[in-house]
């Protein structure tokens, strides 16, 4: 147990932050959007461990919300990035690494004939929407209710600072509901430009759902019939489900796919890959960024994909996720709690039954922190290749102790 979890340095930093940053911290990493009591600031990371600014060490099951796939500070990835950086990172044009990475993406991802690179996942989903519209000369984009595709006006889950026109051409359907998808396509009529679907359903604070192959086949059929782009938003799952893309196991090829998060093991980059039918449209849109050609992040991506190809990293994260899931189930039974663990084992979601307000989940997460494990009470988590069985077991033990603590404190399910 982290007996030193006083978080005094964290509190002091947050106090300073609140003076110079609106709300102290913005976006998905603001702890006020997680459970209360979570450390906000971090000082160190290594492998599958993170240390907060007060020196507390955690076995980390959040992995920087996705980017950490091979372990923080992977020596091969970082060496490749730093070697490229020493020569040239940004300049008046791209480096050779851009070509190498694009070739590797085409070689790796199912259905990819070309690639473009950006910085944010949101850049990638936005570029997909632009390409779909440029290709079709049409406007409507179908998206699932509750799905997260980024945080600019056209897709941000908030309405604050957003106009109705920003989302004027979005039509919603229900994930895994083919009839609702057909109805949305009918509503778009002749104006259907694309259908965007995440790798599987990984909406915040709800059970995850694997993609129904029949639903996906319906999406593919609609796009084949209408010429609209079937867009895979693979930003969060990038390479974690399958090296050839998250829909490869389903045998469904997207026309366009947005990737980011883990493709360079934490170095900032995103990518759009697509098929030849959308190549001309992809060349016609104008989209760019000051740092999009940075060679270091591209070298990191090349190294990351190389390791994924040559190692069992992905299957290892699956095995570790299954070990964690089994251990948490057992701990819950032992301590009288009912859990729902959903989604791919390597991107696990952990919710307590009868806990709509997350009272139990938040208390559990906070108690687990005190026992040295970082879980998330309402967002899917991530395993990485640096998690050993011993690390996972340490996480399970922390969870077991956390459940004991909250049971003793009177948290019970009805």
Residue numbers 168-197 binding its own copies by CB under 8 A: 168-169
Where do the DSSP E strands lie in 19-167? 42-46, 49-52, 57-60, 114-118, 140-144
Closest C-alpha to 77, from 395, 320, 389, 384: 384
Chosen residue from 68, 208, 317, 341 binding its own copies by CB under 8 A:
68
Using CB under 8 A, which of the segments 219-227, 277-285, 329-337, 405-413 binds its own copies? 277-285
Please name the residue that has the structure tokens 């559990």: 364
> Minimum distance between the CB of residue 414 and its own copies, rounded to whole angstroms?
31
Of residues 324-383, those binding its own copies (CB under 8 A): 374
Nearest distance in Å: CB 390, its own copies: 21
The least CB distance from residue 52 to its own copies, in Å, is: 8
Q: Which of 2, 11, 156, 187 binds its own copies (CB under 8 A)?
A: 156
Tell me if 280 contacts its own copies by CB under 8 A: yes
Interacting span for its own copies (CB under 8 A) from 145-153, 181-189, 218-226, 347-355: 145-153
Q: Which residues pair with 233 in a beta bridge?
A: 198, 258
Q: What tokens were used for 178? A: 């083919």
> Would you say the C-alpha torsion 295, 151, 143, 282 has a positive or negative sign?
negative
Minimum distance, C-beta of residue 342 to its own copies, in the bound complex (Å) = 21
Rounded distance between C-alpha atoms, residue 282 and residue 142, angstroms? 20
User: Least distance (Å) from its own copies to the CB of residue 183?
Assistant: 22
Q: Restricting to residues 77-136, name those near its own copies by CB under 8 A.
A: 78, 82, 85-96, 98-99, 102-103, 105-106, 113-116, 119-123, 126, 129-134
352 forms beta bridges with 339
Residues 6+ apart with CB under 8 A from 19: none
Dist. CA 26–CA 39, nearest whole Å: 15
39 vs 411 by CB, closer to its own copies: 39
User: Whole-number minimum distance, CB 275 to its own copies, in Å?
Assistant: 11
Query: Which of 190, 214, 290, 414 is the binder for its own copies (CB under 8 A)?
Result: 290
To the nearest whole angstrom, how small is the minimum distance from the Cβ of residue 350 to its own copies? 16
Provide the β-strand partners of residue 49.
Answer: 46, 59
Per-residue mark of binding to its own copies, 233-272 (x: CB under 8 A): --x------------------------xx----x-x----
Sign of torsion, CA 23 25 26 29?
negative
CB of 148 or CB of 173, closer to its own copies: 148
State the nearest-atom distance from the C-beta of 212 to its own copies, in Å. Answer: 27
Phi/psi for 118 (5° steps) reads: -140, -160
25-44: contacts with its own copies (CB under 8 A)? 25-29, 31, 39-44
Distance of CA 153 to the CA centre of its chain: 19
d(CA 248, CA 238): 12
Contact with its own copies (CB under 8 A) among 76, 162, 183, 319: 162
The residues, ordered by sequence, that sit 6+ positions from 70 with a Cβ below 8 Å of its Cβ are: 77, 265, 304, 307, 308, 313, 384, 385, 386
- CB nearer to its own copies: pick between 94 and 111: 94
Q: Compute the least distance from the CB of residue 55 to its own copies, in Å.
A: 13
Cβ proximity to its own copies: between 163 and 414 the closer is: 163
Enumerate the H helices of 96-138 as residue ranges. Answer: 96-108, 121-136
Per rule CB under 8 A, is residue 286 in the interface with its own copies? yes
Chain-centre distance for alpha carbon 73: 19
Nearer to its own copies, 87 or 179 (CB): 87
Q: Does 59 bind its own copies (CB under 8 A)?
A: no
Q: How far is CA 58 from the centre of its chain?
A: 20
Size of the site for its own copies (CB under 8 A): 108
Tell me whether residue 162 is exposed, middle or buried, using C-beta atoms within 10 angstroms of its C-beta: 0 to 12, 13 to 18, 19 or more: middle
* Shortest CB 69 distance to its own copies, Å: 12
Is the separation of the CB atoms in 86 and 32 below 8 Å? no
Residue 390 structure tokens: 């011993």
Of 293, 337, 364, 411, which lies in the binding site for its own copies, with binding defined by CB under 8 A?
Answer: 293
Q: How far is the CB of 187 from its own copies (least distance, A)?
A: 16
């Amino acid at each position: 147990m982290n007996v030193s979890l006083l978080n005094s340095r964290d509190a002091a930093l947050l106090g300073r932050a609140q003076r110079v940053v609106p709300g102290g911290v913005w976006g998905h990493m603001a702890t006020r959007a997680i459970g209360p009591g979570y450390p906000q600031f971090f000082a160190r990371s290594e492998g599958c461990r993170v240390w907060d600014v007060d020196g507390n060490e955690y076995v980390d099951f959040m992995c920087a919300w996705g980017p950490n796939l091979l372990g923080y500070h992977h020596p091969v990835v970082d060496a490749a990035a730093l070697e490229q950086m020493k020569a040239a990172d940004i300049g008046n044009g791209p480096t050779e690494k851009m070509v190498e990475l694009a070739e590797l993406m085409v070689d790796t991802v199912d259905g990819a004939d070309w690639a473009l690179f950006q910085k944010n996942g949101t850049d990638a989903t936005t570029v997909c929407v632009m390409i779909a519209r440029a290709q079709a000369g049409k406007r409507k984009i179908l998206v699932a209710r509750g799905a997260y595709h980024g945080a600019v006006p056209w897709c941000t889950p908030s309405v604050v600072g957003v106009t109705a026109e920003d989302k004027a051409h979005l039509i919603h359907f229900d994930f895994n509901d083919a009839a609702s998808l057909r109805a949305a396509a009918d509503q778009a009529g002749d104006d259907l430009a694309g259908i965007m679907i995440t790798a599987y359903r990984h909406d915040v604070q709800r059970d995850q759902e694997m993609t129904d192959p029949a639903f996906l086949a319906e999406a593919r059929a609609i796009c084949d019939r209408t010429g609209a782009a079937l867009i895979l938003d693979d930003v969060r799952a990038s390479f974690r489900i399958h090296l050839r893309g998250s829909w490869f196991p389903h045998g469904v090829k997207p026309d366009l796919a947005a990737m980011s998060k883990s493709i360079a093991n934490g170095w900032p980059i995103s990518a759009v890959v697509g098929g030849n039918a959308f190549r001309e449209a992809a060349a016609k849109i104008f989209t760019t960024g000051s740092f999009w050609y940075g060679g270091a992040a591209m070298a990191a991506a090349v190294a990351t994909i190389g390791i994924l190809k040559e190692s069992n990293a992905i299957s290892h994260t699956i095995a570790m996720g299954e070990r964690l899931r089994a251990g948490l189930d057992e701990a819950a039974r032992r301590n009288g709690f009912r859990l729902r663990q959903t989604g791919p084992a390597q991107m696990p979601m952990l919710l307590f039954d009868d806990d709509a307000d997350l009272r139990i989940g938040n208390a559990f997460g906070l108690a687990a922190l005190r026992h040295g494990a970082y879980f998330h009470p309402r967002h899917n988590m991530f395993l990485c290749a640096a998690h050993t069985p011993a690390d996972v077991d340490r996480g399970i033990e922390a969870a077991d102790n956390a459940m004991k603590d909250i049971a003793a404190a009177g948290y019970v399910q009805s």
